Amino acid sequence: MEVTKRTLLQGLLMAPALAAPALLLSQSEKVFAQTPKAKTYNDTPGFHHYRVGDFKVTALLDGYFEMPTNFIKGYDEKAAKASTIQSYRRFTTGSIPVPVNAYVINTGTEMILLGAGTPTFMGATLGKLPANMAAAGINPDDITKVLLTHTHPDHVAALAKKDGSKAFRNATLMCSETEWNFIHNDEVRKASPEDFKGMIDYARSALAPYKDDRQTFSGKKELFPGITSSPLPGHTPGHTGYELHSKGEKLFFWGDVVHFSTLQFANPDWKVIFDADAELALKTRRAIFERASTERMAIAGAHVDFPGIGYVEKSGDAYRYVSAPWMPT
Ligand SMILES: [Zn+2]
């Protein structure tokens, strides 16, 4: 099956015909499936604990997309190979596995879920958030707030259960006012291509159960002691990051600043077709890379290689990603 923009968008829209699509089956799965007498092991649980001062952060893996490289504007195979080899990753042509990470921040008084992942029907390699949450010892009913970076389906689709009720029944939804208004703007929907209309409808239905239990905010705002919103416009108009401060330590969460860890730190000018305003997204990416590298500030990214927590180092006119070291939590 040829992977095109349309087929992946249909996948994102949960077209039933793509419930177990070849496009979402990774190369490595295919290889292992063909290995004679391959022993089956349990999957490595997709959770990782990290501490920022008094905050305990748990990274949770929802799974991964097999993302086609033709979704990248400016992609160049020679440069891609060089940056992939430099980051010690296996180079593949055609598509690259892109993780979907969510995070739980335990403040001591709140359990804040950042990103809600995808339902299983978006692909066999996704929808693992509930299992990984359970493995980490977190009950969905423990979640008191759901904080959104933006409203694309891979970050919100699992907010609602199949029956339309809240998947996190004790949680209040928190989201930038710009993002909430953008996704609920009928003029925006009308002007969108057909594929994106479906994405908008899906996001709206995932957000609907929280309509009467939500808080919106604008710009830079301290939402909880030590947690401040930070606008990162471009990918979507209301795309927002969150900055954690505690005891002199910092961690900056972003959503879709980077989709391809091996490519976009080394080639920050490469854009993805999902950006609502690709030029603004590029400006935002360069600005946050610059800040993170100058301040030696740890970052956590929804599509950065799991657990997605690390540092951004300056390297000439570009950058390099360095995973955060293990530390007792
Ligand atoms: Zn995303």
- For 196-240, how does the pLDDT look when each residue is reduced to its tens digit (9 = 90+)? 898 899 999 999 999 999 999 999 999 999 999 999 999 999 999
pLDDT at 261: 95
Q: How many Å lie between the centroid of ligand 1 and the Cα of residue 152?
A: 6
Q: Considering the domain boundaries, does residue 20 fall inside one?
A: no
DSSP E strands, 53-114 = 55-68, 72-73, 95-106, 111-114
Q: How many Å lie between the centroid of ligand 1 and the Cα of residue 37?
A: 36
> How many domains are there within the chain?
1
DSSP E strands, the chain = 47-52, 55-68, 72-73, 95-106, 111-114, 145-147, 172-176, 214-217, 222-224, 227-231, 240-246, 249-254, 271-272, 298-301, 309-315, 318-323
Q: Considering the domain boundaries, does residue 27 fall inside one?
A: no
pLDDT at 94: 93
The residue to which tokens 């707030």 are assigned: 145
Q: How many Å lie between the centroid of ligand 1 and the Cα of residue 217?
A: 21
* 166 φ/ψ angles, rounded to the nearest 5 degrees: -70, 130
Higher-scoring residue by pLDDT: 297, 123: 297
pLDDT greater than 50 at residue 288: yes
**Which DSSP helix (H) or strand (E) runs through 262?**
helix 261-264
Q: How many Å lie between the centroid of ligand 1 and the Cα of residue 221?
A: 23
pLDDT at 40: 63
* 293 vs 314: CA distance, rounded Å: 6
pLDDT at 193: 87
pLDDT greater than 90 at residue 300: yes
Residue 268 belongs to domain with CATH number: 3.60.15.10
Q: How many Å lie between the centroid of ligand 1 and the Cα of residue 151?
A: 9
**Which structural domain range is residue 97 located in?**
45-323
* 156 vs 116: CA distance, rounded Å: 5
Interstrand relation of 172-176 and 145-147 (parallel, antiparallel or unpaired)? parallel
Q: Considering the domain boundaries, does residue 183 fall inside one?
A: yes
Mean pLDDT of the chain: 89
Q: How many Å lie between the centroid of ligand 1 and the Cα of residue 274?
A: 9
Q: Considering the domain boundaries, does residue 297 fall inside one?
A: yes
pLDDT greater than 60 at residue 11: no
Q: How many Å lie between the centroid of ligand 1 and the Cα of residue 174?
A: 17
Q: Considering the domain boundaries, does residue 156 fall inside one?
A: yes
**Closest listed residue to residue 258, CA positions, set 228, 233, 282:** 282
Q: Considering the domain boundaries, does residue 292 fall inside one?
A: yes
Instruction: Return the axis-axis angle of helices 194-207 and 5-12, rounded to nearest 10°.
Output: 20
Name the amino acid, one letter, at 148.
Answer: L
Q: How many Å lie between the centroid of ligand 1 and the Cα of residue 232?
A: 14
Mean pLDDT on 67-83? 95
Q: Considering the domain boundaries, does residue 137 fall inside one?
A: yes
Q: Considering the domain boundaries, does residue 30 fall inside one?
A: no
Q: How many Å lie between the centroid of ligand 1 and the Cα of residue 35?
A: 32
pTM of the full predicted structure?
Answer: 0.88
pLDDT tens per residue, range 117-156: 887 767 889 999 999 999 999 999 999 999 999 999 999 9
